[in-house]
Amino acid sequence: MRIAKREPMVSLETPVCDFDLPALDFSLPGTDGKIWTLDDCRGDNGLLIMFICNHCPYVKAILDRLVRDTNELKQLGINTVAIMSNDVADYEEDSFDNMQRVAEEQGFTFPYLYDETQQTAQKYGAVCTPDFFGYNKDLQLQYRGRLDASRKEAAAADARRDLFEAMKHVAETGRGPEQQIPSMGCSIKWREA
């Protein structure tokens, strides 16, 4: 029997937005049984790529808000894709079967993809869950901030919707806000080299 050595929970903040950095292609399996690429995921006015997982308390605290905001962004022509890149050998809760369960239970209307090799997370420079990358219609990075003021607990119901407001602005103008507050979450659980 393998004893999982779990690393301590490390909270990290995302780097500042590197405006206009192009989105990078990927080809990953989704919980719906399809293989998804960057082009499959993009919307008419942009794309939100988010690195999330099942076990992280930061993600669990905002799942209902994520579903609400991504549904509303879809109405603005911005599609969403979620990618799970954690090492599932040490974090069984993040397994593909559990990804399918969470997607169904939470009513995900966006693809939830499994980055088993962790190469997509590495290419994007993802550091934590949740980590949000908001792109305009030309797939140029415009947002790398937080969803809202939530941390390990959900923020007040009337908290400013940072990500939604920023991506709404991206849909309307093609540009993200100059001032962005970093997202905070659990470190991505990298496989040992």
**Cis peptide preceding 57, ω within 30 of 0:** no
At residue 7, does pLDDT exceed 70?
A: no
The token pair that represents 173 in the structure block: 């103008």
At residue 124, does pLDDT exceed 50?
A: yes
67 contacts: CB under 8 Å, gap ≥ 6: 106, 107, 108, 109
- DSSP letters, 91-129, are -GGGSHHHHHHHHHHHT--S-EEE-TTSHHHHHHT--EE
Tell me how crowded residue 32 is: count the other CB atoms within 10 A of its CB: 13
Residue 11: predicted pLDDT: 80
- pLDDT, mean of residues 13-33: 96
pTM, two decimal places:
0.94
Percent of the chain having pLDDT more than 90? 91
Among candidates 142, 69, 158, which has minimal Cα distance to 110? 69
Strand partners, 51: 83, 131
Q: Each residue of 170-193: pLDDT tens digit?
A: 999 999 999 999 999 999 999 986
CA distance 24 to 151: 28
CA distance 127 to 52: 11
Average pLDDT, the chain: 94
Percent of the chain having pLDDT more than 70? 94
Q: Each residue of 38-71: pLDDT tens digit?
A: 999 999 999 999 999 999 999 999 999 999 999 9
CA distance 155 to 138: 32
CA distance 189 to 88: 8
Strand partners, 50: 82, 132
At residue 168, does pLDDT exceed 60?
A: yes
